[in-house]
Structure formats: C-alpha cells, structure tokens
Amino acid sequence: MVDNPFYSPEFHGDYEIASIGRLELEEGGVIPDCRLAYTTWGELNDAKDNAILITTWYSGTHQIWRDVYVGPDHALNPERYFIVCIDQIGSGLSTSPHNADGANAEIAMSRFPHVRIGDDVVAQERLLREHLGIEKLQLVVGGSMGAQQTYEWAVRFPEKVLRAAPIAGTAQNTPHDFLYTKALVEAITSDPGFNGGDYTSNTEVEAGLKRHAGIWAVMGFSTEFWKQEVWRALEFDSKEAFIAGFLEPYFTVMDPNDLLAMAWKWQRGDVARHTGGDLDAALGRITAKTFVMPVDEDMFFPVRDCRAEQERIKGSELRVVQDVLGHLALFGVAPTYMPQIDQHLGELLATPV
C-alpha cells in the first residue's frame, strides 16, 4: 500500500464506499474485500425504477461526471433520475493496487490480480442490487472504458439495462487500441523508479508518468486540436505549457499500478467472451435501446470501429459527436460538447422502451 493524497474527497468530492465482499475474478484471482467507491445524485423513487448508472473511464472518476455531465440542466438530471456513478476497480478510489490494505493486503501493489471489465460489471451489479435495491436501469452510460463497461452491462444483464449509451468506446477492443495501451503501459513500466511495481511513492515514477502523458498527447487529442491550438482556450501560451501545466500533472499525481490495472482491463475488453468469440452473437443479446456515440476526431476509437458494432445491435442508432478534441472530448472542454451529449442522451431517455 502506498499513501497517495490524490485519491481522497479533497480531489474527488464526496463519495461513498461500500464493500461487496469477496470477488472471484474471471482470470482466477480474488479480491478478498472488494470495495467500490460511488456517488449518487437525486432520489431513488419508491418503484426503484428511475436509476441511471454511470461507469468511469481510465484515469477518470465520478468527479468529472459531477463537474461536467450531471445536473438539472443536463439530460443526466438528478431531479428526474437517481443517478449512480461507480468508480471502477483500479480507479484509485475503489479497491486498487495502491490502496489494498486490511483484508486486501495480500493483493497490494505488484501483487494485484488481473481484473476484467466483466469483473467490474459483476461487482457493480452486486452493489446496485444489494446496497441500493436497484434491479433495473433506465440507462447505463459511460465513456471510453466506461463504454466498455456499458456494453458489458448490456450484453451480460440485458434484462436489467433498458437503454445504453457507450460514448467513445467499443464493445470489443481493437488490436490497434491494444497496442496503443501497450505503449502507455511500457512508458510507465520502463521507468527504473517503477521497480516492478514496488515503488514507495508515485513520485518515484514521475518520469514514466510524464512519458505516458506524452503518448496521451499524441493519441488522446486529434491532430487538429494541436494544429488549431485549441489549448489556448484553456489559457495556456504554448503546447509545451499545456502539456507541462495540464496533461503531465493530470497523470503524475496518479498511482502507476492503478493505471496499469485499468490498462490491462482496457486492453482486453470484449463482450464476445460471453459467446465463444462470436461478436455478432454477443451484440445480438443486447435488448437495450442503444445510442452508439463515437467522437468524430477520436484517434483510437474511430467512428468506423464504433459504427461496425452499432450496425450489429438491433434498433440501435449511431450518434456521432463532433469535437476537435478527439477522444479527450470526454473532458467536456469544448462548449459545443455537452449540448450534443445532452441532446443525444435526452432523446435516448425520452425513447419508450
């Protein structure tokens, strides 16, 4: 276990933590006491049928959803819905390599077991059912790795998911994406300070985390983001200042093992694991009304990969989000971003199912 003040309410706002107990993992490992951080907005009605689940992306938590996506002026409106955002395993808030202590001490740091997207979804379903009494979701929505979880929900628990909105992500990770994530992983693990995962502070891996941020700069934003100097809107004077003042600090506060636990999951997201590798069959299980929402400038979840999956989902619609930021449109920096998200999610929520 490593002390890291970033993973606290000071940086992530209020959240709850619930134990769902022992979690047997798809890869054979075990989390002895799986603890999930989550946040809720709004009130669960008596019928318990107004719930929305938000899943989180690589490096992101409920906090960005609170800051950007959820509110009375948004489609994710707490005045109408009971909205639950559950931080993924490895997020640094839920059970993660850096915070594994007590019953989880045996899986701390480099000993953390491989976790899959399916493990997260099983854990989330248990939390919703056992702690909150939720058996049906009006909507599951998430971006990037959150989209992977959204698809996993819709395939694994079709009877529980009425609507699904995977944003900027795929149901089956692509080989290119696997290689991209591999480059991210190697930027971290190649740092001598990483020490095979047994560093004593994330600061010992700062150089690796900065290189990791540098690769995000190349793939996370679009070529046009850099050409048009969109970072000026964030009040930086140069791309170097933007990287040093935004992208690097964003990642260097994080825990390397936590990022790697998420990366391993991300690389292997695949709903076809339910159907012996048959993606058509897996996507054919989806009964949720689904809006597939890629970002037009995304460099690693390109529209065509998302469209190829959307076309295999009954009654689904492709809703392309226009955003020059590319994948990291998810940050919601462009003033034109949230109106599109609200438009699509609003229409989806208004669609009878």
To the query of whether residue 298 is one of the catalytic residues in this protein, the response is yes
Question: Which tokens hold the place of 95?
Answer: 């059970």
Tokens of 183: 């480059």
Q: Per CB under 8 A, does 244 bind a copy of itself?
A: no
The one catalytic residue among 144, 255, 258, 270? 144
Alpha-carbon span 124 to 116, nearest angstrom: 13
Rounded CA separation 74/8 (Å): 26
State the catalytic residue, choosing from 270, 298, 305, 323.
Answer: 298
Q: Alpha carbon 76 to chain centroid distance?
A: 17
Distance CA 93, CA 76 (A): 22
Count residues binding a copy of itself (CB under 8 A): 36
Q: Does 296 bind a copy of itself (CB under 8 A)?
A: no
**Minimum distance of a copy of itself from residue 187's CB (angstroms):** 8
Say whether residue 227 binds a copy of itself (CB under 8 A): yes
Binding track, positions 39-68, relative to a copy of itself; x by CB under 8 A: ------------------------------
How far apart, in whole angstroms, are the C-alpha atoms of residue 181 and residue 39? 28
Among 3, 16, 224, 311, indicate the residue that binds a copy of itself (CB under 8 A): 224
In angstroms, the CA 150 to CA 148 distance is 5
Does residue 17 interact with a copy of itself by CB under 8 A? no
Pick the stretch among 15-23, 58-66, 210-218, 312-320 that binds a copy of itself (CB under 8 A): 210-218
Of 5, 175, 196, 352, the one binding a copy of itself (CB under 8 A) is: 175
Helix H, strand E, coil C: the string for 234-282 is: HCCCCHHHHHHHHHHHHHHCCCHHHHHHHHHHHHCCEHHHHHCCCHHHH
Verify binding: residue 223, a copy of itself, rule CB under 8 A: yes
Yes or no: say if 269 and 117 are a contact pair by the CB < 8 Å rule.
Answer: yes
Nearest CA to 147 out of 293, 305, 318, 312 is that of 293
Task: Say whether 144 is catalytic.
Answer: yes
Answer yes or no whether residue 229 interacts with a copy of itself by CB under 8 A: yes
Selected binder of a copy of itself within 28, 159, 196, 304 (CB under 8 A):
304
Closest to 152 (Cα-Cα) out of 170, 131, 175: 170
Interface with a copy of itself by CB under 8 A: which residues? Answer: 174-177, 179-180, 182-183, 186-187, 190-192, 207-208, 211, 214-215, 217-219, 221-227, 229, 239, 243, 299-300, 302, 304-305
Catalytic residues: 144, 298, 327
